[in-house]
Amino acid sequence: RGWGAFIDTIEIAIVGIIIGVISGLANVVTLLGTLAIAGVLAGFAGAILFASAVAFGVIFAVTKRLAWVMSLTKVLTVAVTASAIAGYISGGVSAMAI
């Protein structure tokens, strides 16, 4: 899922570099380089967010099947822990992208 943004970023970077060379403005190249890096990081953040969502879904499905064995408190604890881990991972990546 994150690869589309990555490929788009490469295209944007190539177009940006061509424009920068033609116009001779080093600032344009610098700006587009920064945008390209941010775009790549955003693409990876998207991929990790998607993976976190899938992992959370799997944990939730397994937890749901085991709910008859586990008490409601334990189920909630697992769900909260899973969402906290996913939030921590995606938060760290988003902060890096910014």
Q: Please determine, for residue 81, whether its predicted confidence score (pLDDT) is greater than 70.
A: yes
* Structural domain containing residue 48: 3-97
Predicted pLDDT at 96? 57
Residue 76's alpha-carbon distances to 3, 35, 58, in angstroms, are 34, 40, 15
The domain total for the chain is 1
Q: What single letter denotes the amino acid at residue 29?
A: V
Predicted pLDDT at 69? 55
Q: Please determine, for residue 11, whether its predicted confidence score (pLDDT) is greater than 70.
A: yes
Residue-wise pLDDT for 19-77, tens only, equals: 656 665 556 556 667 777 777 777 777 777 777 777 777 766 666 666 555 565 665 67
